[in-house]
């Protein structure tokens, strides 16, 4: 992994964490309801799923929308990987299901799920926007400090670690 990649990954984790404060992940009970509603089957292809992470994914129905349970679909790994970045569920369903009857049945099921769990309005306020802007500035400062630290290490002949974990070290032996 290139050194700039690890700083970017940490910054991306920080941004996801921050977005989760005003827009939290659904609860375990909500995810359990998702599995029950879709009868342990992929919402797109209908494949039977076991409740393990590797078989069932909690994909987003609409890209860029809220994390709320109404914007989540139960997807198999194949449909999750087949989905193009930023693709809406209806486009994925159209590409994946050729039979018009199955398409309509699955689309109706997804729409029923979304109707049952309407998306909440985003929590918008000047105070929240100000806090997020301050946090984004701190993330940019963090990224710049990481780059400066790597450059300083390089200038002094030390090999800078590229790992974004607590096990990172600079030069020398462990």
Helix, strand, coil percent content, the chain, rounded in steps of 5: 55, 5, 40
What is the C-alpha separation between 48 and 40, in angstroms, rounded?
6
Rounded to the nearest 5°, which phi and psi values hold at 161?
-70, 145
pLDDT tens digit sequence for 111-147: 999 999 998 777 678 888 888 889 889 888 888 888 8
Please say whether the beta carbons of 163 and 6 come within 8 A: yes
| Domain limits, the chain | 1-22+123-165, 24-116
What is the pLDDT confidence band of residue 173, given thresholds at 50, 70 and 90?
A: very low
H/E element, 90: helix 89-96
What is the pLDDT confidence band of residue 5, given thresholds at 50, 70 and 90?
A: low
Those residues with Cβ within 8 angstroms of residue 14's Cβ, 6 or more apart along the chain or in another chain: 135, 139, 142
- Per cent of the chain over pLDDT 90 is 36
Chain centroid to Cα 127, Å, comes to 25
pLDDT tens digit sequence for 47-77: 999 887 667 888 888 877 788 899 999 999 8
Q: Residue 23: name the closest of 118, 124, 134 by CA.
A: 124
Collapsing DSSP states into helix, strand and coil, what is residue 1? coil
Q: What is the pLDDT of residue 32?
A: 94
Q: What is the pLDDT of residue 3?
A: 46
Please say whether the beta carbons of 44 and 75 come within 8 A: yes
Q: Which CATH architecture has domain 24-116?
A: 3-Layer(aba) Sandwich (3.40)
Q: What is the pLDDT of residue 33?
A: 96
């Amino acid at each position: 992994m290139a050194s700039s990649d690890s700083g970017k990954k940490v910054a991306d984790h920080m941004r996801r964490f921050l977005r989760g404060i005003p827009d939290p992940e659904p609860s375990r009970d909500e995810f359990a309801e998702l599995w029950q509603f879709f009868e342990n089957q992929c919402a797109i292809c209908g494949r039977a799923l076991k409740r393990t992470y590797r078989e069932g994914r909690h994909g987003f129905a609409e890209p860029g929308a809220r994390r709320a349970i109404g914007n989540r679909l139960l997807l198999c790994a194949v449909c999750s990987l087949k989905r193009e970045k930023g693709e809406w569920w209806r486009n994925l369903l159209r590409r994946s299901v050729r039979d018009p009857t199955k398409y309509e049945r699955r689309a109706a099921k997804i729409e029923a799920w979304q109707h049952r769990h309407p998306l909440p309005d985003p929590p918008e306020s000047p105070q929240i926007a100000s806090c997020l802007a301050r946090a984004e500035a701190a993330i940019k400062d963090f990224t710049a400090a990481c780059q400066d630290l790597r450059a300083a290490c390089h200038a002094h002949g030390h090999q800078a670690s590229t790992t974004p974990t607590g096990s990172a070290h600079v030069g020398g032996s462990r």
